[in-house]
Amino acid sequence: MDVIEFVECSIGRWRSQRSGHSLAMSHFEEVRSTIDIVSLPTNATEVIELCKSNGVDISQAISPFQMSWKGESDWDESETLEGSCILVPIPDKDNLKKGKLLRSQGYAETIPAAGEYYITEDGTFILNTEYDHAAAEERIWFGTPNVRFRASFIKTSDSNGVLTASFSSEIRSLSTEEKSASIINN
């Protein structure tokens, strides 16, 4: 699996269950959300701007996409978690399995971030992102073509080093008949 195939497999609407683990405090958080992943043309204004602000030539951009989410946490049920970001893979020369991933907004901090990705032999997408005061590792893989998993791990670099991990199970949203057939058979 290379980054083009990986993005293709991810396009669609996903129903997500996410568990957050605050490791030091042994706390749990539960979030249910809907995630939409849509592909973008490489000449979309946002893609061009993200490449520019990262000093990357637009011709290197492959399979850019937008991810939007809307969810509810059990920590604050009155609050709706909502957002979206643009992601642009910049593969290494002659190797689509490895490169940079530009993002208009990171997970650990709400500023733009560029991470380093690689795709392992078993098709797991691994993304490492260094922030000013934290480092994040995210792993994404498919259980079936319609079930996607994401595990992430964030550690802060200051002396109060907070560790959090989270895990999302994501099921592709299909019509009711398609859903029962495809989840069971794939």
User: How many Å separate Cα 135 from the centre of its chain?
Assistant: 15
Q: Given candidates 21, 39, 44, 58, which one binds a copy of itself under the rule CB under 8 A? A: 21
Nearer to a copy of itself among residue 63 and residue 166 (C-beta): 166
Cα–Cα nearest to 5, from 180, 93, 100, 124: 124
CA angle 19, 25, 71 (to 5 degrees): 25
Q: Does 30 engage in binding with a copy of itself (CB under 8 A)?
A: yes
Q: Does 111 engage in binding with a copy of itself (CB under 8 A)?
A: no
> Going by DSSP bridges, is the β-strand pair 113-119/163-172 parallel, antiparallel, or unpaired?
unpaired
Query: What Rg do the C-alpha atoms of the chain give, in angstroms?
Result: 17
Q: Does 72 engage in binding with a copy of itself (CB under 8 A)?
A: no
Q: Does 173 engage in binding with a copy of itself (CB under 8 A)?
A: no
> Rounded to an integer, what distance in angstroms lies between the CA atom of residue 45 and that of residue 162?
37
Q: Does 128 engage in binding with a copy of itself (CB under 8 A)?
A: no
What's phi and psi for 10, nearest 5 deg?
-90, -15
Per-residue x/- marks for a copy of itself, 131-160, CB under 8 A?
A: ------x-x-x-xx--x-x-x-x-x---x-
Applying CB under 8 A, the residues found at the interface with a copy of itself are: 15, 17, 19, 21, 23-24, 26, 28, 30, 32, 120-122, 124, 126, 137, 139, 141, 143-144, 147, 149, 151, 153, 155, 159, 161, 163, 165, 167, 169, 171, 183-184
